[in-house]
């Protein structure tokens, strides 16, 4: 620690090492650790805030991975190369039950995990998990071993890089640092022993010597999180009142669209692949926050937010100082800068402004990068999209869907050439090709339909709408021109459309 914390000692030792190199054969200083402990005006200090409203549910056992895999929105396989993952537990109707950060329990067996959640939700989450346990070899219980802290930087320089969590390890091993998987700007989650409240602050100071430790308040972290448009806990994500994509779960690396089935997966996958997300959690900045300082928190729950015309555009989901979080209709609040008002019964109107959440600029690991304005007419036409949407509609049955490609050679299905131009979409229930290289590429796409070879009418591949013989023919053309087909094909056409 002397080498990393004292710049003069490092200089002196380097001087000695130049004169007597043989005396210091293994002496070295880790660049990342030394950077963290140096005082530099170019780097802003960390702020450390306790999170007393966060608790843990422990899941352990040989079937823990497969058990959680079928219940949460993200892929447990991410923990093979990471120590934490962000996910949500959903209800059967696709609405959010609760959000969670899943950690590998420090110093425990591989199949031992800690699920961080809101303190008010912890008993319900334990009951929820036990309900689906059945004969799985898992144990579920609340865990009070650790206390949670958040370490973050409110202002990050462009050239500044956050050190890896492994470079912030405590020498005593009694303090555990995890990088927040949602956004780099959210910094770190730190787990300390709940039985050693005084010692943990000393250890935190060793790792973050320039940090401003807030004793008993999570307000600085909450306000900072609101400024990024990140919701957390039951206050921001009320049970059964919002959908995961509305809560930016897809933009915060919290949902996998390739893992397969889990509770609430059907609606989540359909919403994502249709690209219709009308509301998002977005940050708000208040002009006169003191007007709401004395309001009852219950009176502020789901308060309406209105635009200049007096139309409701969303609801308030959290307030911390001059920062707030709102679930807003995208098409009515973008482009940014439109004045909004928060109307509380018995209080004066408070003006506020909104902006796109910080996670809007981040690419996701489990899904294509998207923007908040993707669903609204207010989004700029010049903004690139990862997968341009091509509308498809069957003119016979009315099937409507958004596909990813129209042509004969889908770029996401290598070595495949279709016999005609088709409307193609990725299979939303199949893993990406690189995850299963032993399977043929044809398993990774779906053919929605094609244009009729005769009348050029767009039809789907359903047996009631089209017939394929070297090319796609719609039902009318197949029946009307049945005599032009070979004899052995005529019976198939008559049988199919009889």
pLDDT in tens, 301-358: 788 898 888 889 999 998 888 899 999 998 888 776 678 988 776 566 788 888 888 7
Average pLDDT in the 167-183 region?
75
pLDDT in the model for residue 388? 62
Average pLDDT in the 409-423 region?
83
Q: Would the CA dihedral through 422, 425, 431, 434 be positive or negative?
A: positive
Number of H helices, E strands in the chain: 13, 24
Domains and CATH numbers, the chain: 46-213 (3.30.1360.120), 228-354 (2.40.30.160), 390-430+442-497 (no CATH)
Which of 168-177, 220-229, 419-428 is the most confident on average?
Answer: 220-229
Q: Say how far apart CA 480 and CA 498 lie, in whole Å.
A: 13
Q: Say how far apart CA 427 and CA 443 lie, in whole Å.
A: 8
Phi, psi of 312 (to 5 degrees): -70, 130
**Side-chain half-sphere CA neighbours of 136 within 13 A:** 23
Q: How far is CA 278 from the centre of its chain?
A: 17
| Residue closest to 73 by CA, chosen among 245, 216, 208 | 245
Peptide bond into 237 cis (omega under 30): no
pLDDT in the model for residue 229? 92
pLDDT in the model for residue 44? 67
pLDDT in tens, 8-67: 333 343 433 443 333 333 333 333 333 333 333 345 678 888 999 999 999 999 999 999
**The pairing of beta strand 312-320 with beta strand 445-451:** unpaired
3-state secondary structure 331-383: HHHCCCCCCEEECCCCCCCEEEEECCCHHHHCCCCCCCCCCHHHHCCCCCCCC
pLDDT in the model for residue 459? 95
Phi, psi of 451 (to 5 degrees): -85, 135
172-181, 206-215, 223-232, 368-377: range with lowest mean pLDDT: 368-377
Residue with more model confidence, 265 or 344: 265
181-190, 383-392, 484-493: range with lowest mean pLDDT: 383-392
Helix (H) or strand (E) holding 282: strand 279-286
Which of 157-171, 223-237, 335-349 is the most confident on average?
Answer: 223-237
> Residue 85, SS3?
strand
Confirm whether pTM is higher than 0.75.
Answer: no
pLDDT in the model for residue 196? 74
Phi, psi of 6 (to 5 degrees): -120, 110
Say if residue 483's pLDDT is above 80: yes
Helix (H) or strand (E) holding 55: strand 54-60
Q: What is the mean pLDDT of the chain?
A: 78
pLDDT in tens, 88-140: 999 999 999 999 999 998 877 788 999 999 999 999 999 999 999 988 999 99
Q: Say how far apart CA 494 and CA 485 lie, in whole Å.
A: 11
Radius of gyration, CA atoms only, the chain: 28
Average pLDDT in the 473-492 region?
90
Helix (H) or strand (E) holding 242: none
In the chain, the percentage of residues whose pLDDT exceeds 70 is: 76
Helix (H) or strand (E) holding 223: helix 219-228
């Amino acid at each position: 620690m002397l080498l990393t914390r004292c710049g003069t000692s490092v200089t002196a030792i380097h001087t000695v090492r130049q004169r007597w190199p043989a005396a210091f054969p293994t002496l070295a200083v880790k660049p990342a650790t030394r950077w963290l402990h140096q005082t530099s005006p170019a780097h802003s200090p960390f702020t450390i805030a306790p999170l007393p409203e966060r608790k843990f549910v422990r899941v352990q056992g040989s079937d823990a991975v497969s058990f959680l895999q079928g219940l949460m929105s993200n892929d447990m396989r991410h923990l093979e190369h990471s120590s934490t993952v962000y996910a949500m537990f959903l209800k059967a109707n696709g609405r959010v039950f609760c959000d969670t950060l899943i950690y590998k329990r420090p110093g425990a067996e591989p199949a031992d995990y800690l699920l961080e959640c809101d303190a008010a939700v912890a008993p319900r989450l334990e009951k929820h998990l036990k309900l689906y346990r059945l004969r799985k070899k898992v144990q579920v219980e609340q865990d009070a071993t650790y206390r949670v802290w958040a370490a973050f930087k409110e202002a990050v320089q462009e050239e500044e890089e956050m050190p890896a969590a492994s470079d912030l390890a405590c020498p005593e091993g009694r303090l555990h640092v995890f990088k927040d998987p949602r956004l780099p700007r959210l910094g770190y989650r730190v787990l300390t022993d709940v039985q050693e409240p005084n010692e943990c602050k000393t250890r935190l100071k060793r790792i973050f010597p320039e940090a401003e430790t807030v004793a008993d308040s999570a307000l600085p972290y909450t306000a900072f999180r609101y400024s990024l448009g990140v919701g957390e806990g039951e206050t921001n994500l009320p049970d059964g009142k919002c959908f995961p994509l509305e809560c930016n779960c897809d933009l915060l690396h919290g949902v996998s669209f390739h893992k397969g089935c889990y509770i609430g997966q059907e609606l989540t996958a359909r919403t994502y692949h249709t690209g219709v997300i009308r509301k998002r959690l977005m940050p708000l900045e208040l002009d006169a926050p003191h007007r709401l300082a004395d309001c009852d928190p219950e009176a502020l729950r789901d308060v309406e937010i209105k635009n200049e015309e007096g139309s409701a555009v969303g609801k308030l989901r959290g307030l911390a100082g001059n920062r707030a979080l709102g679930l807003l209709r995208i098409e009515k609040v973008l482009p940014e800068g439109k004045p909004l008002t928060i109307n509380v019964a018995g209080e004066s109107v408070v003006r506020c402004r909104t902006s796109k959440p910080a996670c809007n600029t981040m690419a996701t690991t489990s899904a294509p990068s998207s923007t908040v304005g993707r669903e609204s007419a207010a989004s700029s036409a010049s903004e690139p999209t990862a997968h341009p949407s091509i509308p498809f509609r069957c003119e016979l049955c009315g099937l409507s869907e958004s596909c990813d490609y129209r042509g004969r050679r889908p770029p996401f299905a290598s070595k495949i050439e279709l016999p005609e131009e088709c409307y193609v979409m990725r299979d939303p229930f199949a893993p990406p090709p690189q995850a299963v290289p032993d399977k043929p590429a044809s398993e990774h796409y779906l053919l929605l339909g094609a244009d009729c070879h005769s009348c050029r009418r767009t039809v789907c591949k359903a047996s009631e709408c089209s017939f394929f013989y070297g090319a796609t023919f719609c039902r009318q053309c197949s029946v009307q021109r049945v005599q032009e087909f070979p004899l052995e094909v005529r019976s198939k056409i008559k049988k199919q459309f009889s």
